Every structure is written in structure tokens, then in C-alpha cells.
């Protein structure tokens, strides 16, 4: 409930406009500190937090609705404040500036282009005005990574306020790579992006992924290629290609039993991230640190992902499925269920990924048994978490997948002692 006023009739919705105004003095005049800007404009920003698209409503209900600007303004203020504790000004500034792209969003490649362009404009102008030295490759790398991240957020179909997620996601990604100080040569970055995007687009057109899956796969693929090489990406891609065939294995039977994957098994961003973020983490650390444990863990995490997918998709067609914790019979498709057919499929998946890594000369022969064993154990970590925390409602299936693939580094550590 609350007082209602006539709708704001501007050319653009005021998403980020006032925040941009608040940032302009410190953006254009280096001697103006952020705290001054915040003190002058924060009351104006807060006034517009009551704006809700179709109406202006005084109250705190529906703060995370699609038409609410409350969260995005609050987070913008938090980002400005974060500059006091060491967060670079440009990280907060570019994330806020990219909010403008929310008003022009369309689909896939256009969104990547508009968000990347906005980030590039802001960063270029920021460094020029501040008279700071510019590494063009680092500049373009941050812009593209931020652009893909923002486009990914826009591709996700949710009812909540995307502006908040966009701010949080882009600022987090930019901050991470500012801390790491990582970037790639421009030609290599463009090649990695084009290659990843084309493969992701092909996956979307063939029903293997949806649009959010395309965006997330493009982001993960680009980063893996530029910080390792194309062979590492092909190992990761093998999981999605072979996994999609496993999903279609006896699909009509799964459909009759009601245990088929939704949307024909098309993978979205959650599926991509839950199975790929640990692999990306291991690849980045292998690039930075060079320790072999990250190399083996990279392969083992993907082996776990494929092994689990094959065990689940093929094993659920078996008539005899048992819960891993007590071996009581359960229905096919139950979380934590295992079967003889599923076990053989899990082992096959671990072996396939590891051998692909070996034949691509990524994984030395001495590490092949370690990756296979770690991948196979990771599948059972997945089953155990599914039979316990997921069944109790503490984890989703995607959370289970993430923790299972991440756990491979612990297994590899002990196997390599």
C-alpha cells in the first residue's frame, strides 16, 4: 500500500541515470572525492528508489520486482562507498555506467556489443581524464569480460530486478580480474571469444543449450582459451557434447517414466556454471601458479561432470537403482541413486575425459590414473551429497554438481602426496 503518482514519462527509464549524475563530478574532475559526491547526491538517489515503472509507490513492498529501482540504487551507493576500502574507482564506475545498456538490451550478440562498448567508453575516458597510463589490451579485456557478463545476466529469464544482478555480477568479475591482473593479447582474446561464441551458438541452435547457456559458455570458454589454450577448451567442450548424447539416450523411455531432463536437456547458465566454474578456477590458477595439481584437478573436475551426467542419464534407465547411503531400492532418477549400469557409465565418463586430455597432450601419462580415480570419486561425492543434503533440501542439484566437481582438487591432493 502507499501513495501513487503519475508515471515518469521520460525518453529512458531512470535506470542508472541519477547514479551516473552522481558519478560525473568525480569522473570528470579528479580532485573531487567520492565522499563529496555521495553526500550531495545520495538523497536524490534515495528519492528515486520509490520509483516502480508503472507507478511511484511510497513503501517497501515489491523491492525486488522487475519495475523496482530500490536495490539497484542501494547497491550503486554501496559500490561508491566501496572505493573507500580499496576498490578501484573504475570498477564501481563502469558497473554503474553499464546499467545504461539495460535500456537497449535485445538478444545475444547485440547485448554483448552494447555492454562491451559502454564499458570501453567509460574505461577509456576514465583513464584519459585521470591522466593514467593505459594498457589497451587490459582495457579491452575488462570491457569484453564485463560485456559478456552483463549480457549473460540479461539472458536469464527471471522476474526479479535484473539491474541489481547486473551491477553485482559485473563489478565482481571486474574486481576479480583487477586483483589477478590478468589480460590477454587482443588478437588472442578476439579469437577465443569468436570461437567460444560460435560453438555456443551452434549448441543453442541444436538444442544443447539455451540463450543463458550460450552466454555463460562463451564467458567460460573465452577465459579458458586465453589463459590456457584451445586444447583445454576442447576438453571442457567434450563434456557438453558427449553429455548431450547421454541426455538423449533412451529419451522416450525417460519421457514415459517422467524422469527426462526439462527442455529436452538444453543447458542453461546454472548448469554451465555448476559444472564449469571449478574447471575455470583450476585453469586460471594453473596459468598463474603453474602447479600440476591444478592441471590434474581441471581434468578430474570435467571427468566428474561427464561421469555424473552419464551415470545419471544412462543409469536412470536401469530397473534396479539403490540409494548410495543405505542401498535401499529407490525409483530411477532419485537423487543419490546408484546402479550397476550407472557405475559403469560413471567410470566410462571419467576415462573418456581423461583420455581426451592425454591424447591432446594436456595431461602427462603419469597423471592419467589420478585424474580417472579423482573423477570417479567425484561422481560418488555427487551421489552422496544428493542422497543427503539435496534430499533434505539444503542443496539443489546444481549446488551438488558444483561441490562435487570442486571436490576433485582435494582428492587429487591426497592422490598426489
Q: pLDDT digit string (tens) for 183-206?
A: 778 888 889 999 999 988 888 888
Domain boundaries, the chain: 229-417
The model's pTM is: 0.80
Total residues found in the chain within this entry? 417
Give the contacts of 139 (CB within 8 A, at least 6 positions apart). 120, 123, 124, 127
CB atoms near residue 376 (< 10 Å): 23
CB atoms near residue 131 (< 10 Å): 7
Give the contacts of 8 (CB within 8 A, at least 6 positions apart). 14, 51, 56
pLDDT digit of tens for each residue in the chain (417 aa)?
A: 333 333 333 333 444 454 555 555 455 555 445 545 544 555 555 554 444 443 444 344 444 454 556 666 677 777 777 777 778 878 887 887 787 787 777 877 889 999 999 899 888 877 777 777 777 888 899 899 999 999 988 887 766 667 778 888 888 888 888 877 777 788 888 899 999 999 888 888 887 788 888 889 899 999 999 999 999 999 999 998 898 888 777 666 666 656 556 555 567 788 888 899 999 999 999 998 999 999 999 999 999 999 999 998 887 777 788 899 988 988 877 888 898 998 999 999 999 999 999 999 999 999 999 999 999 999 999 999 999 999 888 888 889 999 999 999 999 999 998
* Alpha-helical runs (H) found in 360-407: 368-385, 397-406
From residue 268, give the alpha-carbon distance in Å to each of 49, 109, 232, 295, 408. Answer: 32, 17, 21, 26, 23
Cell of residue 169, nine digits: 555480477
What does the alpha-carbon distance between residue 97 and residue 10 come to, in Å, rounded to a whole number?
19
Give the contacts of 224 (CB within 8 A, at least 6 positions apart). 232, 233, 236, 279, 280, 283
Cell of residue 49, nine digits: 528508489
The single residue listed with the C-alpha cell 565522499 is: 35
Cell of residue 274, nine digits: 555448476
pLDDT in tens, 66-125: 455 666 667 777 777 777 777 887 888 788 778 778 777 787 788 999 999 989 988 887
Amino acid at each position: 500500500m502507499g501513495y501513487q503518482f503519475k508515471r515518469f514519462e521520460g525518453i529512458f527509464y531512470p535506470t542508472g541515470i541519477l547514479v551516473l549524475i552522481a558519478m560525473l563530478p568525480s569522473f570528470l574532475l579528479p580532485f573531487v572525492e567520492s565522499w563529496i559526491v555521495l553526500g550531495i547526491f545520495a538523497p536524490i538517489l534515495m528519492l528515486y528508489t520509490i520509483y516502480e515503472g508503472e507507478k511511484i509507490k511510497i513503501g517497501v513492498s515489491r523491492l525486488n520486482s522487475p519495475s523496482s529501482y530500490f536495490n539497484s540504487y542501494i547497491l550503486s551507493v554501496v559500490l561508491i562507498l566501496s572505493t573507500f576500502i580499496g576498490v578501484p574507482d573504475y570498477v564501481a564506475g563502469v558497473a554503474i555506467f553499464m546499467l545504461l545498456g539495460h535500456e537497449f538490451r535485445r538478444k545475444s550478440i547485440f547485448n554483448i556489443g552494447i555492454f562491451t562498448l559502454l564499458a570501453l567508453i567509460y574505461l577509456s575516458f576514465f583513464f584519459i581524464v585521470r591522466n593514467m597510463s593505459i594498457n589497451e589490451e587490459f582495457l579491452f579485456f575488462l570491457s569484453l569480460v564485463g560485456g559478456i557478463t552483463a549480457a549473460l545476466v540479461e539472458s536469464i529469464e527471471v522476474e526479479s530486478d535484473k539491474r541489481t544482478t547486473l551491477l553485482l555480477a559485473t563489478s565482481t568479475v571486474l574486481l576479480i580480474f583487477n586483483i589477478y591482473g590478468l589480460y590477454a593479447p587482443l588478437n588472442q582474446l578476439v579469437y577465443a571469444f569468436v570461437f567460444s561464441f560460435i560453438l555456443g551458438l551452434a549448441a543453442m541452435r541444436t538444442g544443447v543449450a539455451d540463450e543463458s547457456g550460450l552466454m555463460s559458455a562463451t564467458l567460460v570458454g573465452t577465459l579458458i582459451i586465453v589463459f590456457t589454450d584451445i586444447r583445454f577448451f576442447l576438453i571442457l567442450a567434450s563434456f557438453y557434447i558427449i553429455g548431450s548424447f547421454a541426455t538423449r539416450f533412451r529419451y522416450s523411455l525417460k519421457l514415459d517414466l517422467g524422469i527426462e531432463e526439462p527442455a529436452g536437456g538444453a543447458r542453461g547458465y546454472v548448469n554451465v556454471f555448476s559444472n564449469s566454474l571449478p574447471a575455470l578456477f583450476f585453469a586460471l590458477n594453473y596459468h598463474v601458479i603453474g602447479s600440476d595439481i591444478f592441471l590434474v584437478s581441471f581434468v578430474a573436475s570435467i571427468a566428474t561432470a561427464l561421469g555424473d551426467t552419464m551415470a545419471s542419464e544412462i543409469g536412470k534407465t536401469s530397473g534396479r537403482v539403490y540409494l548410495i547411503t543405505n542401498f535401499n531400492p529407490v525409483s530411477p532418477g532419485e537423487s543419490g541413486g546408484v546402479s550397476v549400469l550407472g557405475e559403469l557409465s560413471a567410470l566410462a565418463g571419467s576415462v573418456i575425459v581423461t583420455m581426451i586430455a592425454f591424447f591432446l597432450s594436456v595431461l602427462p601419462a603419469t597423471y592419467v590414473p589420478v585424474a580417472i580415480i579423482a573423477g570417479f570419486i567425484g561422481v560418488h561425492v555427487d551421489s552422496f551429497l544428493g542422497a543427503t543434503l539435496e534430499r533434505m533440501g539444503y542443496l539443489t542439484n546444481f549446488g551438488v554438481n558444483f561441490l562435487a566437481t570442486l571436490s576433485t582438487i582435494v582428492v587429487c591432493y591426497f592422490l598426489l602426496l
